[in-house]
Amino acid sequence: MASEVLASTLSGMPIPLESLYASNPGVVSRSISFENPTGERGRGGRASSPLGVGRKGDPARVIEAGQTVVLAEIAGSGTIRHLWATLPASPIALRGMRIRFFWDGADFPSIDLPLGEFFGFAHGATPAFQSALTSVGRRYGMNSFMPMPFRSGARIELLNETPKPTPFFYQVDYTSGDEHPADVGRLHGWFSRQNPTTAGVDFELLPKRVGAGRFLGTVIGVRPFEEKWWGEGEIKFFMDGDDDAESAFATIVGTGSEDYVGLSWGIEETAFLYQGANRVDRDHATDSGRISMYRWHVPDPIYWREEMRVTIQQIGHHGGSKTLEEYKHNLYERVDDWSTATYWYAPDLAPLAPSVPYEERVADLV
């Protein structure tokens, strides 16, 4: 039953056209922003400006250094459908500010991500791009369309852990009154960074999670420490007892880092709906620039029933191979700066692994 519910949580893209004109009886549309912080009917736009009451009186707030602001607190059942935000963008702000989501009365967050990673990009900076689940404009109008169901309540917090006050605009669009079963998959999101990684020790995108789930995808940031090609490492999904086997081999294994995000023969700045690289900083002669890439498992779901752990290797290549055997002999273990924001759906709520401290998140961004 849990796997069936998880399948229906995010069944595919695009949305069937017939759903656009369904009346959805019993479900109402609501939106929360500083202009209507409760989302209640008839409560929006009541603040005053020099133009008068209801004339753009409260579109934004300044989030002070060290301040935590509640962006939304919703009672009852519902589904967050869309979240938009913008701010004076900088890598420090977009990696240093954290957004957290709490589902169904839990006292721990199920999503705890840097603001930029939540909207689908690494390193706190990106060119404009669009994917199936996120989009970012040239001036950092940021959008997330990941559906986020909840049964008894939702709470969204924004933490400004940077040393500077930051003006912030946002809007949360949701439906209220959705009928979700007890084992509906709630969205989870977790950030990790190793700067540097450890040679021969695979980077962990998702620490072991117990219970059923659906892997939604990941945003990967790489800052190579040398000019040689860095992306020969394979992603590995250890599921439902793989970690307990004597050999500890994974069930699902990729063929290379750029292969996992649907590219090939190196990395290029190409943003597609479900996979690609939104940012590639690279001199044409080297592979030493920052990379931001992503993979969304929407039409190709990855389910697990009992447990899941996901890793990716840090393997490079010396180049110059003429045969497949020479290619294999030119592989080598390497050390770089890797970060990931990983997303999954799970019916069971359990605390995330500890978040990366502010100083470690923002180190070496600029």
**Are the CB atoms for 110 and 187 separated by under 8 Å?**
yes
Mean pLDDT, rounded, for 296-304 = 96
**Are the CB atoms for 213 and 346 separated by under 8 Å?**
yes
List, in order of start, the domains of the chain with CATH numbers. 2-15+25-348 (2.60.120.1390)
**Are the CB atoms for 170 and 270 separated by under 8 Å?**
no
Q: How confident is the model at residue 4 (pLDDT cuts 50, 70, 90)?
A: very low
**Are the CB atoms for 358 and 93 separated by under 8 Å?**
no
Q: How confident is the model at residue 43 (pLDDT cuts 50, 70, 90)?
A: confident
Distance CA 340, CA 206 (A): 9
* Token pair in block for residue 111: 């999503």
What are the tens digits of pLDDT across the range 306-345?
999 999 999 999 988 889 999 899 999 999 999 999 999 9
Distance CA 179, CA 76 (A): 10
| Identity of residue 232 | E
Distance CA 243, CA 230 (A): 26
Mean pLDDT, rounded, for 189-196 = 98
Mean pLDDT, rounded, for 39-62 = 88
Q: pTM, whole model, 2 decimals? A: 0.94
- 59 Cβ partners below 8 Å, 6+ apart? 33, 34, 35, 169
Residue 15 has pLDDT above 90, yes or no: no
Distance CA 30, CA 152 (A): 16
Question: What is the SS3 assignment for 236?
Answer: strand
